[in-house]
Structure 1
């Protein structure tokens, strides 16, 4: 049974979501504020988090950042704010999806199931022994990418990434020197990221450079091709 942590202070919305998800065979724990949510994260060990951005004790984006620094599980923002800038900021700090209130419970369930499927594919509980892991090391560099386990090590250190960030680095790595237009990258990620656009691509690239480059301002691996897009250089 999948475990969902709901961080929502509105009693009506909170109870509706809890009731619906329980009827759909999810195990649900509701926290009424950010402090409760952070405490529940360790005790409840959810498979997915539903996070309201308007909480009494936490600024929602700040809490999303804190949660992402602690856990890799999918985070869905639920908010009455429909501004594109708010959505982009949420994705920038690690949210995986964004639902605008009021929303359909059926749509929420579908998005939860889609994120859980993708997350479980990337984080299997057991690694099959039938064949060697598809592990690739960029020659004479500090990057080590395991495509089956969806892990990335930079100079020996494990790097936490969102689902979309890994899909982006995987695509670039598998086609070195190929120049991808932003439109190409948007189309590649559209099935994983509901609100992907030019700005979101640039944000993902910036975040990846911070994680893998020695000097993000002078990138060695992810190069900008001015006026076109990006490419991966070995």
Structure 2
């Protein structure tokens, strides 16, 4: 990476040895790494300069990493990767429910961690420039209700052109469902289809991701217009969906 296009990562972890290990490894791969050992330092870093990705330990000694992650997601749109030393499935569910984009457990393989950070940065959804918004010619889009799902730019926009932020898992599930209106998908099928779109969706998180999508695209998430539940089977997207 050249100095001008280096990506900046913010590492939030109260273990100095872990921070040193990751800083050395990520710096060697061309990333700029900034450090924080608590929430106070994290907010100071976030307010000082832009950050492209946050790498956060969920189990900080004096703070709740889940709460911090939720606050970061409410204020910022950069990808969040969570790290934890505990292997409880519930931790992963909670992390994803709070809008994390990926999740790894300690001890982790450095090569895999770096590859997944690179993938998150490559696929992260940024709001398009005004020129790209105006020119969407040639983009593959799906239109439903007042929404436009731009599959080329990997964006969801409302009828005013405002971009709605989606995580990787949310976008992939919405794409699978909207591409096949009125087709019922089991959770296992949604997982398999989403893997084909280069993201990681886990069995017990499908329901969480569906809930988050409904909150973002449905006028009333409790009585959804688009993403329907077929009791005992799975989910389906109620059309019509128009492709350009």
What's the TM-score, normalizing by structure 2? Answer: 0.84
Match of 2:146 among 126, 142, 146: 142
CA distance in 2, matches of 1:137, 1:107: 36
Kindly report the root-mean-square deviation, in angstroms, between the aligned alpha carbons of the 2 structures. 2.3
Aligned positions of 1:39-78 closer than 5 A: 39-78=44-83
The reply on whether 1:103 has 2:108 as its aligned counterpart is: yes
Question: 1: CA distance between counterparts of 2:29 and 2:157?
Answer: 38
- 1:96–1:193 contact (8 Å) kept in structure 2: no
- Mapped partners of 2:128, 2:146: distance in 1: 25
1:17 aligned to which of 6, 22, 31: 22
Aligned pairs, how many? 230
SS of the aligned residue for 1:91 comes to helix
Contact 2:228-2:236 within 8 A present in 1 as well: yes
Are the counterparts in 2 of residues 182 and 201 from structure 1 also a CA contact under 8 Å? yes
Corresponding residue of 1:172: 177
Shift of 1:154: 4.2
| 1:31 aligns with one of 36, 61, 67 | 36
Name 2:3's counterpart in structure 1. Answer: none
Spell out, residue by residue over 1:70-121, the C-alpha distance to the aligned partner (whole angstroms, 9 max, x if none): 222221111111110101110111112222112222221121112222226x
Contact 1:35–1:57 at 8 Å: present in 2 too?
A: no
Contact 1:179–1:230, Cα closer than 8 Å, also in 2: yes
Deviation per CA, 1:179-217: give whole Å up to 9, x if none: 1111110112236444611x2111111111111112211
- Provide, for residues 108-140 of structure 1, a one-character-per-residue CA deviation record: whole Å limited to 9, x for no partner: 1121112222226x76778496944334432xx
Determine whether 1:219 maps to 2:227: no
Q: Within 2, Cα distance between the matches of 1:34 and 1:91?
A: 20
2:180 and 2:237 in contact (8 A); partners too: yes
Rounded Cα–Cα distance in structure 2 between residues aligned with 1:104 and 1:154: 40
Cα pair distance change 1:217/1:124, threshold 3 Å: closer
Name the CA distance, whole Å, in 2 between partners of 1:195 and 1:145. Answer: 20
SS at match of 2:236: strand
Q: What CA distance in whole angstroms lies between the structure 1 residues aligned with 2:147 and 2:85?
A: 40
